[in-house]
Amino acid sequence: MLIEKERGRGAILAVTTVLFLFLAIAAMRQSQILSLIDSELISHVHHDSTALTGVFKLITTLASPTLDLLYMIIIAGLLWGFKYKIPALWAIGYGFGGNVLGTIIKKIVARQRPVGHMASDDGYSFPSGHVLGTFMVAAILFLVVLPLMQNNLQRLLIQTILCLWVLLVMFSRVYLQAHYATDTIGAVLLAYAWLQGAEYLYVWLAPKLKRVKFLSNSRGVED
């Protein structure tokens, strides 16, 4: 099975959830310490460079929540086409479920964006939707696509590129003053915590779903 049982998954879920809740509550209460840390980080990251601004605008466009959802749909479609039907459904569920969680939490926390953000970056700040979606796309590739590759070196190279891409998106959002640094960290924690929960659901539901007639020939699930 592509996603197996792991003994430490529960502990990881608990730790990441606690850390995320700590950041979310601090952001919601407008913690002065959190604000000070974020302000310092933005002042060190942001520089008025036309070239850099152009590069980071391109990165942030490619990592927009809408495109992230499109990437997930394309990945799921390819998985389905190669008979990885249940992993495809899991990828869609993880991606769309994470976006719903992110939207709900944004409205609950209701954190305002940094002063100086672009007019196109509307809505609340915590957690970053760009980083949330990017992390989920990377996680789907890590868990249900890259394990299918036979070449270990190529797999390692793509894994490295994916990690760097997530970091670049995080940096770009802070550089463009669209988010505070803790918004991007919160997005990673939320995506990772939700990933642990989604993996639990896969391990539990995948064997049951394979009994459904049109999913019975799905690959990636043990009989």
Residues in the chain: 223
56 is a domain residue: yes
The pLDDT score that the predictor gives to residue 51 is: 80
1 is a domain residue: no
38 is a domain residue: yes
- 186-195 confidence digits (pLDDT tens): 999 999 999 9
4 is a domain residue: no
The pLDDT score that the predictor gives to residue 165 is: 97
The structural domain count of the chain equals: 1
Rg of the Cα atoms in the chain: 18
Category of 83 on φ-ψ map: left (φ > 0), alpha (ψ -120 to 50) or beta: left
pTM attached to this predicted model: 0.90
Quickly tell me which residue has 């479609």 as its tokens: 77
The pLDDT score that the predictor gives to residue 164 is: 97
221 is a domain residue: no
- Residue ranges, the chain, pLDDT below 50: none
Q: For the CA atoms of 176, 179, 183, 188, what is the dihedral angle to 10 degrees?
A: -40
100 is a domain residue: yes
142 is a domain residue: yes
The pLDDT score that the predictor gives to residue 139 is: 96
Q: How far lies 48's CA from each of 42, 53, 120, 172, in Å?
A: 12, 8, 19, 13
The pLDDT score that the predictor gives to residue 1 is: 61
The pLDDT score that the predictor gives to residue 118 is: 64
CA 42/CA 177 separation, integer angstroms: 7
223 is a domain residue: no
Host domain of residue 95: 9-215
The pLDDT score that the predictor gives to residue 36 is: 84
The pLDDT score that the predictor gives to residue 73 is: 96
